[in-house]
Structure 1
């Protein structure tokens, strides 16, 4: 019997939406082949979960310590495997899930926990198996060969591209942007004459108001977008020839579309991804952006224009992704569903 899949992730304005979106990419890979349910906590931003997905909601009264017991009472380990993405799924959680009899794939980007999962996926180009402590049965799927990307981005990754001029910027700092880096980056870009247009993508958990006031004042240059579909996001990226974004899922997507990206990190889970892209010379060095001010963005971008290595970065981005990523994920999941 082929088992069904429980995709398990949470996301809201506090935690961001990255864990949800990464699992969405895997849902798109398997949805025509395997049955699934998308499982999230009642505190998640439920509106971002596609209507076409079969959903199940964990009641707010169930905390993470109680969750393995709740899962085992709600779903049969003989019928389902679990694919989980989130920092709350620590070693003790994984151990309990395994003790309940479930097969478990864990999406990781910190390499800090002892791993009890059957398979650990970490798509950072920096990570190695030696970074982990694990159980004997735990296997790994590491690097950009297992990039968590939606189908249209995988298609874009195959295309060639050359940048001849830089005059249109793309800015995105994730679903929540807790440090309001979007506003600071855009204010910096407005001070650089090269940029004729700035396209800003905001997530479903974005709560700041300043960027909308700035858009009203600079409507000839600035355009904001909210909750774009995969196709709309690609079309927006294709209007641009430079980007500012953190080392999260959005960096993988930008690298598939291909353009010079000024990238850094502002939370722990982005740092290993950042190091990997930097080591591959696929981004411009931004470092820790948590305390960035407008002047930092201006100074760094001015240096980038002096270096003029745009197409060197694009070539490095293309080398990170091949055309077998979706089939690798599907085969990995299918294998566990058959056990």
Structure 2
């Protein structure tokens, strides 16, 4: 892929506020990093946190906290270009902060779970279940992506959701996030000690946890079998989650991570902003309250929980988020004379010729005659689709008697990434704006599965073609 578009992430994390904002943002960066250059803007990150950030991001931009919020936003907006994207995850990034970026035509994405201010952001992401758009004050143009299907999970947990371990050992996984400012971890250990827990407790704390002395003192004196694990990688987290049929976590990102692996989850709230997730998981019977913690559970109870967990945590979040961010950077433009060579290269690509109904190579002389004729033909509409201003493919409509026949292709270096869908989508949007009351028609060979799936996804009616041999005919009216 040529030049990648840039995304800047702004979040903070420390022992006082926890690491939740950073963890969520890094999960999103991890999903986008192959197609976008991700930069993380943060105040005073811990050394271990820097290492985590650089696993998902191209670079870190460190801030000092001497400036006010608006001055900070102005400083950041000074090195972000028009049309680039900033993702904000933090409760300080209120309306006025967002507005600084909007005034410079920077696209604003907010990860938010408390809906406490008016939003001027282009996009709001909230992975809590049961939340609706009506709970937000936002602009008419703001797009919402709400619910567990947008869970902000890194790759190891998305993969774990697709490959769940059956019949886990009956051990107990305990983690209240990377910081646990109020040391609720110790309260949990004391309660499960009272309940007489007999199995191994894998206890995970993060780099920002500040209560190790009291915790170690308790572990030395307790009869519980506690294995203390500090600052684990995602791979290690999945390993220990798969050793535990039960878990106790806060209703935050860590609960999403455990539910991706599957198991009996008890929730212990450690902050007010966890309320939406807590209520939804309990209401939908995806988890239980820690207040009701018991060692024994029925097989029926586990089956019901597992059924709900599998339907929501499907591991397909990356595709959903790529579609959201592709939508912000994929554009379409009309073709000009200077695009002749580009079209010539595309039309003679071997894969393109193979899927065409005339498989013979096209000579430069033939192409030039065809291209010049199409540019002057009022019934021909030609477009180039671009990703971050890099041409990724073309789409052409030939209009006859209120019918527009589609021809499209994807540049070879952009294949296999879902761009074919966007080329058709952008082309259909453009032709609808320029020409009313058209029936759009496409023909696809039976063996071209990728194109068949695109037409189906875009809502075309599918019939076996009587005009083209071994092909489907696709129709879309508007």
TM-score, L = length of structure 1: 0.88
Structure of higher RCO (CA pairs closer than 8 Å, 6+ residues apart): 1
**Where does residue 19 of structure 2 map in the other structure?**
17
After the TM superposition, which residues 53-202 of structure 1 pair with which residues of structure 2 at under 5 Å, given as runs? 53=57, 54-78=59-83, 80-160=84-164, 162-163=166-167, 166=170, 168-202=171-205
Contact 2:198–2:224 (CA<8 Å) still a contact in 1? no
The answer on 1:325 being equivalent to 2:317 is: yes
SS across alignment from 2:109: strand
Mapped to 2, the partners of 1:46 and 1:171 lie a distance apart of 24
TM superposition shift of 1:169:
0.9
**Where does residue 304 of structure 2 map in the other structure?**
312
Compared with structure 1, are the counterparts of its residues 165 and 156 closer, same or farther at alpha carbon in structure 2 (3 Å cutoff)?
closer
**Where does residue 30 of structure 2 map in the other structure?**
28
Contact 2:202–2:227 (CA<8 Å) still a contact in 1? yes
Which sits farther off after the overlay, 190-199 or 13-22? 190-199
Compared with structure 1, are the counterparts of its residues 31 and 306 closer, same or farther at alpha carbon in structure 2 (3 Å cutoff)?
closer
SS across alignment from 2:182: coil
Mapped to 2, the partners of 1:245 and 1:160 lie a distance apart of 19
Once the two structures are superposed, what CA deviation does each residue of 1:308-338 show, in whole Å capped at 9, x if it has no partner? Answer: 6233212221121224311111121122234
SS across alignment from 1:214: helix
**Where does residue 378 of structure 2 map in the other structure?**
none
Contact 1:2–1:338 (CA<8 Å) still a contact in 2? no
**Where does residue 47 of structure 1 map in the other structure?**
48
**Where does residue 7 of structure 1 map in the other structure?**
9
Mapped to 2, the partners of 1:33 and 1:219 lie a distance apart of 50
Contact 2:120–2:138 (CA<8 Å) still a contact in 1? yes
TM superposition shift of 1:135:
0.3
Contact 2:168–2:244 (CA<8 Å) still a contact in 1? no
Show structure 1 runs of 5+ residues with no match: 287-296
**Where does residue 292 of structure 1 map in the other structure?**
none
Compared with structure 1, are the counterparts of its residues 197 and 97 closer, same or farther at alpha carbon in structure 2 (3 Å cutoff)?
same
TM superposition shift of 1:165:
6.9
The answer on 1:235 being equivalent to 2:239 is: yes
Once the two structures are superposed, what CA deviation does each residue of 1:61-112 show, in whole Å capped at 9, x if it has no partner? Answer: 233221121112233234x310111111112211222112210111011122
Q: CA RMSD in A?
A: 2.1
Contact 1:243–1:259 (CA<8 Å) still a contact in 2? yes
TM-score, L = length of structure 2: 0.64
Compared with structure 1, are the counterparts of its residues 73 and 218 closer, same or farther at alpha carbon in structure 2 (3 Å cutoff)?
same
TM superposition shift of 1:219:
8.4
TM superposition shift of 1:158:
2.1
Contact 2:4–2:35 (CA<8 Å) still a contact in 1? no
Which sits farther off after the overlay, 268-277 or 46-55? 46-55
TM superposition shift of 1:35:
1.1
**Where does residue 255 of structure 2 map in the other structure?**
251
Compared with structure 1, are the counterparts of its residues 325 and 105 closer, same or farther at alpha carbon in structure 2 (3 Å cutoff)?
same
Compared with structure 1, are the counterparts of its residues 27 and 306 closer, same or farther at alpha carbon in structure 2 (3 Å cutoff)?
closer
Mapped to 1, the partners of 2:11 and 2:93 lie a distance apart of 10
Show structure 2 runs of 5+ residues with no match: 332-478
